[in-house]
Amino acid sequence: MLLEPWTDADLGLERLFNTPEMTAHNGGPRPDEEIVARHHRYLALPADGEGQIFRVHLPGEPEPVGSIGYWTKEWRGEPVYEMGWMVLPGHQGRGIATAATVAAAEHARVAGKHRSAHAFPPVANTASNAICRKAGFKLVEECEFEYPKGNFLRCNDWRLFL
């Protein structure tokens, strides 16, 4: 598995994630203008020093199979990194997201900006909660979490000290 920095060419990958299947736990597909705006935020993260999004590649696969990233967020009065990931359906269940999460967390640790990273998968998203556990995150609590803006979810707050 290889992580490569997000580029302008990755807008198509972001659109592949915007399906009912891929967004079932996060409020459903978003309008294209929101996808484009998010893509531009992803591109700006490294220059702003606020995080990094990566596309995930597998050896021998010509196209990326997912994405992983971290970005600065204020949580409970403290600046932290938030982490999130997506793996295309044909590649799920193979440990790719867990390996990518571990690698991206190491990148965040080396960046050295925040003490911890958090992930907020919905309580009902058993696969993403398992990724957190396998990647070494510790469950802090259930919480109400807004994602995307205006959509409130019952999530687990998982924390990884960097």
Residue 83, in any domain of the structure:
yes
CB 81, CB 118: distance < 8 Å: yes
Query: Across the strands, what pairs with 7?
Result: none
Tell whether 141 is covered by a domain: no
Q: What pLDDT does 151 receive?
A: 81
Residue 49, amino acid = G
Number of domains in the chain: 1
Q: In sequence order, what are the beta bridge partners of 70?
A: 52, 83
Boundaries of domain holding 7 = 2-113
On whether residue 106 sits in a domain, the answer given is yes
Q: What is the pLDDT of residues 73-118, one digit of tens each?
A: 999 999 999 999 999 999 999 999 999 999 999 999 999 999 999 9
- Top pLDDT among 68 and 152 is at 68
Tell me the CATH number at 54: 3.40.630.30
- The tens digit of pLDDT for each residue in 112-156 reads 999 999 999 999 999 999 999 999 999 999 999 988 788 889 999
Q: Is residue 74 part of a domain?
A: yes
